A = this chain, B = another copy of it.
Amino acid sequence: MSEMQLGLRERTRRAVQREIAEAANVLFVERGFERTTIDDIAAATGMSQRSVFRYFASKEEIVLGKFDLVVDDMLAALRARPADEGVWTSLRHMFDVLVSLAQTPGHEQMVEPIHRVVFETPALFAGYLQKLQRMQDAVVVELLERAERAGEPYDADDPAPHALTAAAFGCLVAGQRAWLASGGQGSFADAIDRAMATVGPRT
């Protein structure tokens, strides 16, 4: 029962989670998030309400839970950037993880509608912003280590890593909204690029 093999138990759990999430997402896109009850989702997957809550801590998590899984990938991507690259550029490339996630074949058609549900449902959007904030905490830690490794550590109370990260994530959201506003026509990556090109670190 190693950690890497994940074990049968954990694998089936993930499978059921995925099944619930996919069924729920269809309903959310069809009827909207608030007009879909947990009972609807339970009925659609043939389970009881009680069991749905065994797989997801809340209704919100059914939609937003997947972002918890990307955090590690984003940190890994950030860590993989060359040490002498500018922070802003590295952060930009870290977001490529989100871009490629949106382009994963299979649920490609669902990405834009789900995105829209998140951005148009106040409760979901608020939860999303909060998750981004948690991501920023992890990113800041990574930036501090990165500077340490480069032999140019930040001062303990230097707000720069926090501010840069916050600004970058702000640009990310601005880019996402611009992309959604364009009806999902243009390139997601381009939208982020253009937003992040207008702001940057003070020399």
Contacts and interface: CB of A to CB of B under 8 A. Distances in A.
Interface of A: 122, 125-127, 129-130, 133, 157-160, 162-171, 173-175, 177-178, 191, 194-202
B130 A196 contact: no
A175 to B, nearest CB: 7
Given A127-B126, A133-B129, A170-B169, A178 B199 contact: no
The complex is assembled from copies of this chain, and their number is 2
A166 B196 CA distance: 11
Given A166-B171, A167-B171, A159 B129 contact: no
Most interface-central of A162, A166, A169, A170 (chain B CB within 10 A): A170
Contacts of A200: 199-202
12 contacts: A129-B129, A129-B130, A159-B174, A163-B196, A163-B198, A166-B173, A167-B167, A168-B170, A198-B202, A199-B200, A199-B202, A200-B200
